[in-house]
């Protein structure tokens, strides 16, 4: 299991475009991807599930990847989130 945390800095928060981008990247990997905020949990491969987090600027998300390619998945998703969120 690989995990990392990410604080959202984008003024728009976790908006539709960023959720689609994250879900597409997460779907490339066999590992399960779970994104959590302080109160909720979302499937990282589902844009709708990610949007339901309603994460805003300043919120801290915890991302956990679990499966055969968890290290690669976590690295790729973390890099993407740092670039776009």
CB 18 within 8 A of CB 26: no
Choosing from 7, 15, 40, 75, which is the catalytic residue?
15
User: Under 8 Å CB-to-CB from 79, ≥6 apart: which residues?
Assistant: none
By three-state DSSP, how is residue 79 classified?
Answer: helix
Q: How far is CA 41 from the centre of its chain?
A: 10
Is 15 one of the annotated active-site residues of the chain? yes
Q: CA-to-CA distance for 4 and 17, rounded, in angstroms?
A: 21
The catalytic site residues sit at 15
């Amino acid at each position: 299991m690989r995990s990392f945390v990410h604080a959202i800095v984008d003024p728009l928060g976790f908006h539709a475009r960023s959720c689609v981008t994250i879900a597409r990247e997460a779907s490339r990997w066999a590992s399960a991807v779970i994104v959590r905020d302080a109160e909720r949990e979302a499937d990282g491969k589902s844009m709708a599930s990610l949007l339901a987090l309603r994460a805003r600027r300043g919120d801290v998300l915890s991302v956990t990847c679990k499966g055969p390619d968890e290290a690669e998945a976590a690295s790729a998703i973390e890099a993407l989130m740092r670039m776009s969120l």
